[in-house]
Amino acid sequence: MGIFDALNTSVGGLQAQSFALQNISGNIANAQTTGYKGIQTSFDDLIPDSTNPNRQVAGGVTAYAQATITTQGTISASTVGTYMAITGDGFFNVQKPSGTVDNLPVFSGITDYTRRGDFQVNANGNLVNSAGYYLMGVAVDPKTGNPLGNVPKVLQFQSNFIPAQATTTLQYAANLPATPTTLASPTASAGSITGYGGLNPSDFTTNFNPLVIGTPAPAYTDNVTTGAAANNQASPAVAITSATKLSGTAPSDSLPGGFAAGDTLVVDGTTITITAAGTGAQDATHVRADDTVGDLLGKIGAITGQAATINASTGAITLHTGTAQDMSITSASAGWTALGFGATTTAARGGGGTAGAGTVIANDETTFQRESVSGGAVTAYDSTGTATNLQLRWAKTDSAALGAGHSDTWNLFYQTNPNATGTQPAWVNVGTNFIFGTNGALTSPTGSSITIPNVTVGSQTLGALTMNVGTGGLTQYASTSGNATINAINQNGYAAGQLQSVAVNNDGVVVGTFSNGQNLDLAQVSLSHFNGTNYLKALDGGAYEVTDQSGPAIAGASGTISGSSLEGSNADIADEFTKLIVTQQAYSANTKVITTANSMVQDLLNVLR
């Protein structure tokens, strides 16, 4: 029966070569598919049972698919910032929606894995590749850069918004000229500190020495104003308290002349409106007519920054200005009069109006400008995200050229009030002597940073700022221009911002570009790997699912992510064409066996005739 076995074997060979041809055709068809992993064909011989090796014959053949998932495809650069490619081991964690609700994707929670990295942001802010798989990762706090957990989730960036961040740190690097050229130095007396490009405190107003270190201009303090004694309309009337109602009918514990819906108070430019009793709005700028005096004073205190107080014996209210600005309250309401105040109530902050030692007053500003050099400027931000221009100037306060006992010493000033007049402080000494050695290196202070206390520019309070100069960031070398050369000046604050676009860097971090110019980390793209990578089950769109043979996904991978790149197909056209020729010849040979076997059967039948 060998002839009939040969026929069956040839049929098996045709089936195996057809299977190989199908794989070859799929590889060629996907030669330009992003992240495609070719499928090779493995042939296994099938040996028929035989008890005697001497009678054993060549068996049939069967074909199996052999995955090449671990074979790297070619990495090519792209202009799309959200495209990614993995070099080495690893897969992107992805999910495919099981449906949509209100135009939003719904996920089953099953994670698949892919090397296809052509992700782009869709209308909902998700990163989705061309096959419809949604990228997963771990979100990152944009302000701290720390991950928010460790479990990958489907990423979404549509409504990312970052609040303002106040300036707390200045990064500064500069070279100060060994001999400054100031406006005053060319005409100054030879051999004087002014002639050497420095500042002479004798040229400044008496009692206002700009070089006295450690005593900055006095900060503003809280000030108060007290209204007249105020009673309620109960019988007998007693002093009002914080529980007294803003309006009501006698003889209730309410103001004699109450507030009515529609009345307003303008507090430091913010309007507080009285709304209807029982039903009106209640928030930071709305108080109901049947609320209490304490409720109203609380709203005022929130604006000024200092809570008001009530004298328990007289009912007189004391308002506080706070330190942010002078206080102004305007109201035409009878209720405001009943509280003991006139239609307009004002009070100025205490302190801050007159300069002390370590400052340059407005009357001396021209002299200061003539005996100092520019130190650059930077836009800084307060806690609300309001920008302010922080101007710096350097003044050389001592020079080694003056002889023994002298050293090259500088003081740094910042402009505290660009609109200062008279004896108001215009510039403030930061309070540190910067001393340089003969080689131009900074010898004091010895640390890499200093603290600038109580920084205020105009009406904006920045608070204490840390100025980092690093190692070698501040030097004193000769300069032909005689001016300070600013090598770096930046700060860490910013205004609030809305997300504009995202991109992926080479560390696999999704970076967001915001409307305030900040580039902040938003998420870390997660990778996974498998012990049996080539045993993953292929899905449509270049994705894979876990099988028993592949083992479960293992978080992390040794591969690296390249941003703005794509991994191409690992199918080699030349290699596939070679296999195509071999497969065609093998297929033809199997058909020849069938033809030969058929001829032999015909010869056998002819013998019987």
DSSP 3-state of 160: coil
Query: 3-class DSSP state for residue 275?
Result: strand
| Residue 174, both tokens | 């500069």
User: Is the model's pLDDT at 215 over the cut of 50?
Assistant: no
Domain ranges in the chain are: 2-72+569-608, 75-163+498-567, 169-219+353-491, 224-347
509-522: average pLDDT: 91
Instruction: Give the mean pLDDT of the chain.
Output: 89
Local structure of residue 134 (DSSP, 8 states): E
Q: Give the model's pLDDT for residue 357.
A: 60
Confidence of residue 378 (pLDDT cuts 50, 70, 90): very high
Residues 460-511: tens digit of each pLDDT: 999 999 999 988 899 999 999 999 999 999 999 999 999 999 999 999 999 9
Average pLDDT over residues 537-551: 94
Task: Please give the distance of CA 177 from its chain centroid, rounded to a whole number.
Answer: 37
pLDDT at position 13 is 80
pLDDT tens digits along 284-317:
999 999 999 999 999 999 998 889 999 999 999 9
Whether 479 contacts 485, CB under 8 Å: yes
Q: Which fold has domain 169-219+353-491?
A: Tick-borne Encephalitis virus Glycoprotein; domain 1 (2.60.98)
Indicate the Cα dihedral angle 462, 520, 489, 358, nearest 10°.
10
Helices (H) and strands (E) in the chain, counts: 5, 42
* Residue range 90-141, pLDDT digits in tens: 999 999 998 888 888 999 889 999 999 999 999 999 999 999 999 999 999 8
- Output the CA–CA distances (angstroms, integers) from residue 264 to 332, 568, 608, in the order listed: 8, 68, 122
Q: Quick one: average pLDDT of 217-246? A: 87
Q: Collect contacts of 240-245 with beta carbons under 8 A, ≥24 apart.
A: 240/293, 240/310, 240/315, 240/339, 241/293, 241/294, 241/310, 241/312, 241/315, 242/292, 242/293, 242/294, 242/297, 242/310, 243/292, 243/293, 243/294, 244/292, 244/293, 245/290, 245/291, 245/292, 245/293
Mean pLDDT across 171-178 = 97
- Cα(95)–Cα(291) distance, rounded to whole angstroms? 54
Q: Specify the 3-state DSSP secondary structure of 4.
A: helix
Q: pLDDT grade, residue 325 (50/70/90)?
A: confident
What are the DSSP calls for 28-53, one per residue? HHTTTSTT---EEEEEEEEPPP-S-G
Residue 229 has pLDDT above 90, yes or no: yes
176: confidence class by pLDDT, cuts 50, 70, 90? very high
What does the pLDDT read at residue 214?
44
Distance CA 450, CA 556 (A): 41
Q: Please identify which residue in the block is written with the tokens 């071999």.
A: 582
Rounded mean pLDDT of 513-535?
Answer: 92
Residue 43 reports pLDDT greater than 70: yes
